[in-house]
Amino acid sequence: MNKPVQPPERGKASAAASNAKRTDILEGARVVFRAEGFDGASMDKIAQAARVSKGTLYVYFRNKEELFQALVMVDRQEAAEQMCIVEDDEAEIGEMLQRVGERFLTMMTSPQHIALIRMVMGAAEKFPEAGRTFFEMGPCFGINRLADYLDRQVERGRLVIDEDTTFAAANFLNLCHGTIVKRLLFGYVDTPDTAEIEATVASAVRMFLKAYGVEAAKR
């Protein structure tokens, strides 16, 4: 006898329930990993935080490493470098870089993002794959996206960049960091206000244009 075909509605409901359960597990894992670190976290603690049985946890993830990797990938999708979106190629370059930089630095300095960086750095020595994933989905993604914009501006004669534009893009994002991100990572200061973010990015834009702007190239 042929197996009855599952109704589409039931299939959708089952998939939604499965996705919701996976989200619950990741939320529980986030709490445990940030509180206990990679070494201190256990599947037992994560199951308890996610309010699922340990058996259910293993249905979704084979081990702690796989769960940590999945969490890094999910959190990385919302991370700062994803904010390097250029909406308008026609806008004045300084204005566009200011907007990109402010979005970038605002996300970089959010408490959630600082906690994510600390979590990954704490695990990177024993679980380097997570560190690589974090770097590739974050810094590399943002640098490449910004470099594409810089390439277009060079082609139009609006910037003069002799070296690889990925290097120039990385320079700009690093300038946007200023000292703020490192201070936050070490717990030295609270989250910066809007005025400090705007001023830090404005300084980065000025330095960038002095290095790569058309007027700078004429000097």
Question: If you ran DSSP here, which 8-state letter would residue 12 be given?
Answer: H
Q: What is the pLDDT of residues 56-89, one digit of tens each?
A: 999 999 999 999 989 888 877 666 566 777 878 8
Question: How confident is the prediction for the chain on average, in pLDDT?
Answer: 87
Which residue, among 105, 54, 46, has the nearest Cα to 70 in the 3D structure? 46
Q: Looking at residue 84, what is its pLDDT?
A: 74
In the chain, the percentage of residues whose pLDDT exceeds 90 is 55
Domains, the chain, ranges and CATH? 8-71 (1.10.10.60), 80-218 (1.10.357.10)
pLDDT tens digit sequence for 160-208: 999 999 999 999 999 999 999 999 999 887 889 999 999 999 999 999 9
- As a whole-number percent, the residues of the chain with pLDDT over 70 amount to 89
Q: Which of 162, 176, 185, 25 is nearest to 110 (CA)?
A: 185
Instruction: Report pLDDT for 139.
Output: 84
Report how far residue 216's alpha carbon sits from residue 209's, in angstroms, rounded to the nearest whole number.
7
- Per-residue pLDDT, 102: 94
Give me 163's structure tokens: 């070296």
Q: What pLDDT, on the 0 to 100 scale, is given for residue 87? A: 76
What is the spatial distance between Cα 154 and Cα 186, in angstroms, rounded to a whole number? 38
User: Which residues neighbour 168 within 8 Å (Cβ) at sequence distance 6 or greater?
Assistant: 147, 150, 161, 208, 211, 212
Closest CA to 209 of 153, 166, 164: 153
